[in-house]
Amino acid sequence: MFPSGKDAIYSQAREVGDFRFDASVAEVFPDMIQRSVPGYSTIVDAIGQLAGRYAQPGSTLYDLGCSLGACTLAMRRYIEANTCSIVAVDNSPAMIERCQLHLNAFKGDTPVNLQLADIQDVAIDNASVVVMNFTLQFIPQTERDAIIQRIYAGLRPGGILILSEKIRHDSDAGNELLIDLHHEFKRRNGYSELEISQKRTALENVMKTDSLAIHEARLRDAGFSDVVKWFQCFNFCSLVAIKAPSPAL
């Protein structure tokens, strides 16, 4: 189809700068995310399943921080054809360029509007399903409340936000255990100690994790009537936040 390589970005000792979603990352992204995020394929498929359940006719589905479009493709696989459209957004030109190739390679009936944009600048409107699959963690912590509030406002009654995040455990000892289990997962997937530690350094300034309690409180404060943690493996979890359906007349 198109070349997608093995992630060896941090395999040689080097001066480590801040992690960026540039062309070298986009080129190896499927391998990188599969070997780095426990349960990634399970999560993506379940997002499709949830979209199939919650997509409302005539509504818009959003994939915010779509990377190569894995969640967009999963949603398109599960939703009824021709009733909805999908808006997929990423602010990395390299990701958007390759995402378009992925979308072209898997034709579907649901139209996809792919946008190179910052999530902060995208209007959320008439939404039934909004997905942020490991994206909020890259947004500055001070801006997270406002984004979640905007998503809530743009959802129809009965709509959902699916929020997957790497989290920080409340206690130091528990947090270290989860980080250690995750690193063991990466080692078993072929990453060396050097790769694990250099990537950790690269992510330090750009990926700030919140605790599960902070995520849940933020979602509740924005107005979501129910928050369901449907997946967790080590320090990676996924939540479904539900906007209450409009009361029957």
Ligand X SMILES: O=C(O)C(=O)Cc1ccccc1
Dihedral sign, Cα of residue 57, residue 53, residue 100, residue 16:
positive
Q: Looking at beta carbons only, is 95 or 103 nearer to ligand GEK?
A: 95
199 binds, among ligand X, ligand GEK, none (CB under 5 to 8 A by kind): ligand X
Is 92 one of the binding residues for ligand GEK (CB under 6 A)? Answer: yes
Is 65 one of the binding residues for ligand GEK (CB under 6 A)? Answer: yes
Angstrom CA distances, 103 to 2, 66, 67, 74, 108, stand at 12, 11, 12, 11, 9
Answer left, alpha or beta for residue 32, where phi above 0 means left and psi between -120 and 50 means alpha. Answer: alpha
| Closest C-alpha to 97, from 73, 120, 116, 113 | 116
Is 134 one of the binding residues for ligand GEK (CB under 6 A)? Answer: yes
Q: Looking at beta carbons only, is 118 or 176 nearer to ligand GEK?
A: 118
66 binds, among ligand X, ligand GEK, none (CB under 5 to 8 A by kind): ligand GEK
Interaction site with ligand X (CB under 6 A) = 32-33, 36-37, 166, 199, 203
Q: Looking at beta carbons only, is 35 or 76 nearer to ligand X?
A: 35
What phi and psi values does residue 58 have, to the nearest 5 degrees? 80, 5
Q: Looking at beta carbons only, is 91 or 110 nearer to ligand GEK?
A: 91
Are 67 and 97 a contacting pair, CB within 8 Å?
no
Q: How far, in Å, CA of 235 to CA of 186, rounded?
A: 13
Q: Which amino acid is at 171?
A: S
Residues in touch with ligand GEK (CB under 6 A): 21, 33, 44, 65-67, 70-71, 89-92, 95, 118-119, 133-135, 138-139
Residues belonging to the binding site are 40, 65-67, 90-91, 118-119, 133, 200
